[in-house]
Structure 1
């Protein structure tokens, strides 16, 4: 049976690559983003694009209702929309911090609420929440980003057990380094927010260390294939990880003490 998929953040990076891959595999794909002009290349591939702002309730309601009106169901939700707003916790305005969580956490949560009635009705569904290795371990200057992803991990764990009796799987994807707009956006904000404060020296070193590893980041298609694997697994795992340093970093997090992990992280920027 043909499955209907909604992917948020489909205008770039992992979201766009996932939309392309799943469309090639015969899924009915809806790509959602604020910037519909950046999804024009998806239309010739049979991907249906819709404007959606995950910070606007009416926008999300309208998008889901449009898919249901067209298809009669919504089988798979991929909560991919997100960004990283970097800067020292002391420096980041709380309004910006709230917006970070609004996009990365509450938008995903609200879409889960909107699609679950249709998935329960069909006794089948997949919810894929795109977290990060930054949902398990934290670096300086990413406090609000990490807060959003740690929260998404916890939300997913609760939701997974709530909806399992209805035949619905909740799966977390934890990318490591992946080539995307995310890095430039995150570190532009770091420079803007903390580049001229008491944290200037450390922030500069952190940005330089990050920039030095960017060329090692994985291509977005790697994560797209991982998402497909998770969707199609008969008994999916709760979590899948891939991308630059994903598995080594997560293994280290399990293995070493917080104090030692702090030393390892800080050794990279001192």
Structure 2
């Protein structure tokens, strides 16, 4: 089976390409580095020739509200149109748990717009919604820093290893389209502010984390379950934070 992975050189995409290849599929990474640009359409027809599945794990280079909306709507529209022309049977996209519960976040509004385009495209699909990655702990702290403090809301947080996200995306790509979404999350829940405080402590970072219920996350003030699965149907990753941390230190 030929699977084209849009964003195939990134954190998740490169892992998906590797996993699918190990399972005997022809996994083709596609990104501007390989001459494929979903914003302009350059290279799409060529790379999708003969493709059975398209996996889209690409991301906007800018998180500014207008930029991210333009990226996801334009690139997804171009990609879906090219898929229809090529006769692609299955579209798999990576999205975010809780994106439809965060109307004040420009980034998450753009992910909802992307999902809607996929749902209305007529192309059989699966949307994989994931929680935040273990790898993003320091970046989250940096984005929430005010002076020498990190302001984060004391709400539920259930991060996941990127390896487990890639495995979930790969499984959906190798299976039949469900024309719906699935959620994946880490095996344990934490308090958002306490988890990031632990990340900084491990790194020896002196910044103090402040539990601030009004601190926005990507522009959205969160309530208790804004960014975690809210039902029992979510698949849980196999890797605990402690296991991920030990592997990271070994590498």
TM-score range relative to shorter protein: 0.5 to 0.7
Aligned residues: 196
Q: Is the 8 A contact 1:13 1:179 kept in 2?
A: no
Q: CA contact under 8 A between 2:15 and 2:163: conserved in structure 1? A: yes
Cα distance between partner residues in 1 of 2:79 and 2:65: 21
Matched, 1:67 2:13: no
The Cα of 1:18 is off from its aligned counterpart by 0.6
Local SS of the residue matching 1:61 = coil
**Aligned partners of 1:84 and 1:145 also within 8 Å:** no
Identify unmatched segments of 5+ residues in structure 2: 190-220, 227-251
Superimposed CA distance per residue, residues 237-257 of structure 1 (whole angstroms, 9 cap, x where no aligned partner): 51111123899xxxxxxxxxx
Q: Please state which structure has a larger fraction of its residues in strand.
A: 2
Matched, 1:264 2:248: no
| TM, length-normalised to structure 1 | 0.60
**Match of 2:106?**
144
Report the Cα offset of residue 150 of structure 1.
1.4
What is the aligned partner in structure 1 of residue 128 from structure 2? 173
Change (3 A) 1:83 1:262: same
Shift of 1:138: 2.0
Q: Contact 1:176 / 1:242 at 8 angstroms: preserved in 2?
A: yes
Higher helix share: 1
- 1:195-251, Cα deviation, whole Å (9 max, x unpaired): 58xxx98xx412x869x96xx73222212221232233346351111123899xxxx
Tell me, which stretches of 5 or more residues in structure 1 are unaligned? 37-49, 87-95, 164-168, 248-260
User: TM-score, normalized by length of structure 2?
Assistant: 0.63
SS at structure 1 position matched to 2:81: helix
In 2: Cα distance, 1:172 partner to 1:246 partner: 22
Q: 1:80 aligns to what?
A: 57
User: Any idea what the Cα deviations from partners look like across 1:61-110, whole Å, max 9, x if unmatched?
Assistant: 32x23325xxx412211111115866xxxxxxxxx322112233321221
Q: Give 1:202-217 correspondences, 5 Å limit.
A: 204-206=150-152, 217=159
CA distance in 2, matches of 1:135, 1:262: 11
Quick one: distance in 1 between partners of 2:78 and 2:138?
28
Q: Secondary structure at the match of 1:228?
A: helix
Q: Give distance in 1, aligned partners of 2:139 and 2:31.
A: 17
